[in-house]
Structure 1
Amino acid sequence: MLERAWLYWRVVATGFSFLVFGIGGLMLRAIVFPLLNMVVWKRDAQISIARTTIRLAFRSFIGLMNGLGVLRYEIIGLRRLERTGLLILANHPTLIDTVFLMAFVRNADCIVKGRLWKNPFTRGPVQAAGYINNDAGEALIADCIASLLKGNNLIIFPEGTRTPPDGDIQLKRGAANIAVRGVRDVTPVVINCQPLTLGKGEKWWQVPKERACFRIEVQEDIVIDRFIDNDASEAMAARRLTNYLQSYFTEEVRRA
């Protein structure tokens, strides 16, 4: 009886958390960021303040879900994210992986799907924070490298979408192209959620019987020089790096 009541509570708490998330997004768009644009005129300062605001809002959201008993989490190696100009690559098992990383990474930049620029809950924040639109086409890689050169910490999920239910990790080559062309080491983050919740194809109310535990491990940098040599093209180097990262994340997730 208590177990069933605990399950129902977490369903309600999950729904409440996402309701708060949506309302918060609308408030940022309708009130906070318009006021920011009126008070702060320099675009770089606007972006910096907007990103800090989003980071604190996401941190509060994670704290809310933890406090309500929806989830619990541990972060290992967080100090490795305190540097600047990082290319952070992570696997993507759940819906809120982006929220977790952006809640704990200062001056975070990310690639945002074009549909989020049209979503009323997310349009205001992504525009104010100056995130990178994935509809940029051929300019996308150049935009990402430019962001890194400015000292931003760029967060990318190289799978492009959440990991499928069978756990088969398949990486796209875009992130490796950024690393190779920008000659930028990779900071890998391995995300594990047990039992899995908010996975690909799951509805928000399909909560597991037990409270989900997120384990987020920031690992040692992967040095890019080992994949680049004078005889190989950038395309070949990106292919090597993608294959390595795919094996790396697959093995690390299994180990975790």
Structure 2
Amino acid sequence: MRKVLRQGRSVALALPLYSLLLGLGLISLGWNLAAMLLQPLLPPHVGRPLGRRVIAGAYRAFWTIASLSGMMRIDARCLDALRDEPGLIFAANHPSMLDALLLVARLPRSACIMKAGLMKNVFLGAGARLAHYIRNDSAHTMVRLAVQDLRRGGQLVIFPEGTRTVEPPLNSFRPGVTLIAKLAPAPIQTVFIDTDSPYLGKGWPLWRVPPLPLVFTLRLGERFAPSPDSAALLLQLEQYFRHSLEQSASDAPPACQTLRAPISS
């Protein structure tokens, strides 16, 4: 009987959560069908900002509904003060598949670096192409397009681990972010994503019901100026993330602040 009750409770909790995710999937599908028609018709200077604003608005609506439903608790207000600052790189840790949605929802002028395979995904591909998101299949092309976008006044969302965290608190960083910062040139604003849930982390299947509500808190870290020695800066950036995440694992994370973090040279 207890097992039956536990299963019934899991189903009752799962229905609202997966209804939310289904709604997000349907919205994404609808927009991607529209984007497929719009992309050949709109010049880049029109399609790029339109695509980014629509994606940000859809994700922000999703997070709002998820919060009002009680399924999730999200605090990402720290990004609001930076949403209109041109030529800025946001580098974040990557505990969950939902991380990009959290950042993009608050940063409507930002581009993401995406896995090349997702550019063909029916739920993401056309919208990502209209928004001029950046593929990661060619390192040279990825860096070139990211630099061009930043020089035009865009923003860049990047996860230096390259994939979701496998070895907490942090995977080793992959080269790219500090080289882009050097060539743009553009400062790197660090962002920490704190969550108490393993949901949609590496190895967590989509169908497995997590403890609810899911809690995500974003907080700003230091801002790093671009450096001529991009390899040394990458090491410094990784050490900073690792130390900060290890410290926050033992201390309660501070509330999300909207003040700009200091620049680190």
Query: Which residue of structure 1 lines up, in the alignment, with residue 30 of structure 2?
Result: 27
Percent identity reads 26
2:45 counterpart of 1:44: yes
1:1-80 equivalent positions in 2, closer than 5 A:
7-30=10-33, 32-34=34-36, 36-37=38-39, 41-78=42-79, 79-80=81-82
- Tell me if the contact between 1:75 and 1:216 (Cα under 8 Å) persists in the aligned partners: yes
- C-alpha distance in structure 2 between counterparts of 1:120 and 1:171, whole Å: 30
- Tell me if the contact between 1:76 and 1:218 (Cα under 8 Å) persists in the aligned partners: no
Cα distance, 1:248–1:207 mapped onto 2, change above 3 Å: farther
Q: Which amino acid aligns with 1:242?
A: L
Query: Could you report, residue by residue, the CA deviation over 1:15-58 in whole angstroms, capped at 9, with x for unpaired residues?
Result: 2222112211211122x3256458x6433112211111111001
> Counterpart of 2:76 in 1: which secondary structure?
strand
Shifted more, 51-60 versus 70-79: the winner is 70-79
- C-alpha distance in structure 2 between counterparts of 1:67 and 1:7, whole Å: 20
Q: CA deviation at 1:76?
A: 4.9
- Tell me if the contact between 2:84 and 2:109 (Cα under 8 Å) persists in the aligned partners: no
Query: Which residue of structure 2 lines up, in the alignment, with residue 242 of structure 1?
Result: 234
Q: CA deviation at 1:65?
A: 2.1
Unaligned stretches of 5+ residues in structure 2: 254-265
> Counterpart of 1:16 in 2: which secondary structure?
helix
Query: Which residue of structure 2 lines up, in the alignment, with residue 231 of structure 1?
Result: none
2:86 counterpart of 1:84: yes
1:212 to 204, 211, 214: 214
Cα distance, 1:41–1:138 mapped onto 2, change above 3 Å: closer
Q: CA deviation at 1:140?
A: 1.9
Q: Which amino acid aligns with 1:10?
A: L
Cα distance, 1:105–1:7 mapped onto 2, change above 3 Å: same
Normalised to the residue count of structure 2, the TM-score between the two structures is 0.83
1:102-117 equivalent positions in 2, closer than 5 A:
102-117=104-119
- C-alpha distance in structure 1 between counterparts of 2:203 and 2:167, whole Å: 8
1:96-175 equivalent positions in 2, closer than 5 A:
96-164=98-166, 166-175=168-177
Cα distance, 1:9–1:83 mapped onto 2, change above 3 Å: farther
Normalised to the residue count of structure 1, the TM-score between the two structures is 0.86
Q: Which amino acid aligns with 1:33?
A: A
Q: Which has the higher helix share?
A: 1
Count residues with an aligned counterpart: 244
Cα distance, 1:62–1:115 mapped onto 2, change above 3 Å: same
